[in-house]
């Protein structure tokens, strides 16, 4: 009986059967995953600060070189470029903004004005924006620190770049309002997480039983 068992285990028919069963399970799992993916499309917004640049260095601030807005000097002028990208697999409609509320970003510095809004690809809807009023009283100024992206159609693959003049030191930008329903929020550039994962796996050690593979 021991010899028969050995012959059965070592026979080519057994291994062919095992490979066929394994391949069938893998194909079935992939098909189920593809079906679930198509029935539950993932919506995702990536946002990040592309640049946060002072218009003058500290050595020139307060000297003969000044930046004026509506005739009033801006003490610490900075240009901030904020990028909002629909990196998911489906369009995001204006109706997905809960109660018609806007996405809201805080710069921790007075927002003077919006200098530019751009969107790509061409033909995409340019969303409306809103900021608090920059108030001038005599030689004193004050303003709100936030920017709103109002409900709008954001097509799959659409990228919106908002360029803003702020008055203040560089601080982290925060998303303080994200009313989108069933949409994931990611505060890193598109593709950045994939690069990080790839770098980590590049140093990973994969072990399977007595076998280890160092990458």
Reading the block at residue 56, the tokens are 């003058």
Which tops the pLDDT comparison, 15 or 190?
Answer: 190
* Total domain count, the chain: 2
- Whether 3 and 80 map to the same domain: the answer is no
Return the sign of the alpha-carbon dihedral for residues 202, 203, 204, 207: positive
Instruction: For residue range 155-206, list pLDDT tens digits in order.
Output: 999 999 999 999 999 999 999 999 999 999 999 886 654 443 333 334 333 3
The answer to whether residues 29 and 124 belong to one domain is no
Q: How far apart, in Å, are the Cα atoms of 33 and each of 38, 39, 91?
A: 9, 10, 21
Same domain, 172 and 95: yes
Identify the CA nearest to 154 among candidates 69, 47, 53: 47
Same domain flag for 80 and 124: yes
| Cα separation, 136 vs 132, whole angstroms | 13
- Do 176 and 92 lie in a common domain? yes
| 21 and 57 inside one domain | no
Beta bridge partners of 180: 97
More confident residue, 57 or 158: 158
Q: Is 167 a domain residue? A: yes
Over the stretch 72-130, which tens digit does the pLDDT of each residue have? Answer: 888 889 999 999 999 999 999 999 999 999 999 999 999 999 999 999 998 899 999 99
103: left (phi over 0), alpha (psi -120 to 50) or beta: beta
Q: Does residue 114 share a domain with residue 21?
A: no
Q: Residue 203 falls within a domain, yes or no?
A: no
Give the pTM: 0.69
CB atoms within 10 A of CB 163: 16
Q: Which tokens hold the place of 104?
A: 């809201």
The reply to whether 135 and 63 lie within a common domain is yes
Q: Distance of alpha carbon 97 from its chain centroid, rounded?
A: 17
Give a yes or no: residue 127 inside a domain: yes
| Alpha carbons 49 and 172: distance in angstroms, whole number | 9
Query: Would you say residue 208 lies in a domain?
Result: no
Pair (24, 123) in one structural domain: no
Domain of residue 32: give its range: 1-40
- Which residue's entry shows tokens 């391949």? 23
The answer as to whether 204 is a domain residue is no
In a domain, 209, yes or no: no
Task: Clarify whether residues 73 and 170 are in a common domain.
Answer: yes
**Would residue 181 count as lying in a domain?**
yes
């Amino acid at each position: 009986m021991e010899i028969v068992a050995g012959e059965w285990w070592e026979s080519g028919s057994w291994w062919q059967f095992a490979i066929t069963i394994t391949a069938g399970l893998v194909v079935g799992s992939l098909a189920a995953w593809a079906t679930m993916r198509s029935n539950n499309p993932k919506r995702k917004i990536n946002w990040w600060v592309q640049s946060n640049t002072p218009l003058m260095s500290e050595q020139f601030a307060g000297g003969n070189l000044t930046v004026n807005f509506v005739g009033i000097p801006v003490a610490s002028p900075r240009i901030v470029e904020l990028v909002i990208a629909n990196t998911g697999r489906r369009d995001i409609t204006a109706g997905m903004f809960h109660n018609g509320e806007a996405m809201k970003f805080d710069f921790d510095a007075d927002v003077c004005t919006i200098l530019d809004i751009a969107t790509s690809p061409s033909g995409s809807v340019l969303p409306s924006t809103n900021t608090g009023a920059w108030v001038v009283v005599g030689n004193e100024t004050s303003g709100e620190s936030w920017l709103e992206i109002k409900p709008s159609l954001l097509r799959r693959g659409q990228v919106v770049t908002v360029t803003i003049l702020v008055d203040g030191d560089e601080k982290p930008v925060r998303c303080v309002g994200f009313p989108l329903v069933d949409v994931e929020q990611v505060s890193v550039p598109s593709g950045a997480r994939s690069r990080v994962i790839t770098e980590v796996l590049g140093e990973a050690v994969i072990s399977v039983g007595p076998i280890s593979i160092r990458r």
